[in-house]
Amino acid sequence: KAGVTQTPRYLIKTRGQQVTLSCSPISGHRSVSWYQQTPGQGLQFLFEYFSETQRNKGNFPGRFSGRQFSNSRSEMNVSTLELGDSALYLCASSPNGPGEQETQYFGPGTRLLVL
Amino acid sequence: AQSVAQPEDQVNVAEGNPLTVKCTYSVSGNPYLFWYVQYPNRGLQFLLKYITGDNLVKGSYGFEAEFNKSQTSFHLKKPSALVSDSALYFCAVRYYSGSARQLTFGSGTQLTVLP
């Protein structure tokens, strides 16, 4: 089975622009979560989607948004980019709902650099 | 609030020696604990998880972890380290509280296995 795929892998943007990142979960997985990884803050949860509905949201400003499509693929969008948004954005999928026992499988990430 | 701590930023061990990467957690109720490994410029790879049952959990690549409820710890271990085990290791906890189900990660421990 193919793993979680994320596109693009690398991205350079300037302040004030917006960006859309894409994630395709493992085939058959229905839940997708997004995380931001930075050297200073570590791994921080952004949001989780299941059946096209946002089930949980981390403590990020409204500039960060996401959605999930009927085929479970997900996108996240960051508007009005700031320098501090430079990070590795990781997507993870799990088979069923957002249950505590579920193992999340991660993609390789999208490295975003904001200049 | 749930939290997980990795008290060591860096662990060095000689190849062939046993290794331990420490993790402690703080959560009310039953914890669901995970270990992930991250290689440079890669996403996170799942190693193992503790849900319930046997306190010694065996995972991928010869790793195992011991759940200790009284000490609220979930240390990662391997009997004989390999140079290829050098990577960044993350402990994570996930539990249910209202709508909160996200995976909360520790700050990570950089493991270096010296030849």
**Contact in structure between B29 and B95 (CB atoms under 8 Å):** yes
Quick: pLDDT tens for B29-85: 778 899 999 998 788 999 999 988 889 999 999 999 999 999 999 999 999 999 999
Contacts of A98 in chain B (CB under 8 A): 101
Closest C-alpha to A49, from A36, A67, A65: A67
Which of A98, A100, A107 is closest, CB to CB, to B32?
A: A100
Taking CA–CA distances from B29, the nearest residue in chain A reads A100
Q: Could you tell me which residue, B100 or A39, shows the higher pLDDT?
A: A39
Tell whether A4 is within 8 A of chain B (Cβ).
Answer: yes
**Cβ distance of A105 and B103 shorter than 8 Å:** no
**Cβ distance of A56 and B90 shorter than 8 Å:** no
- A16 CB neighbour count, 10 Å cutoff: 10
Position A2 pLDDT exceeds 70:
yes
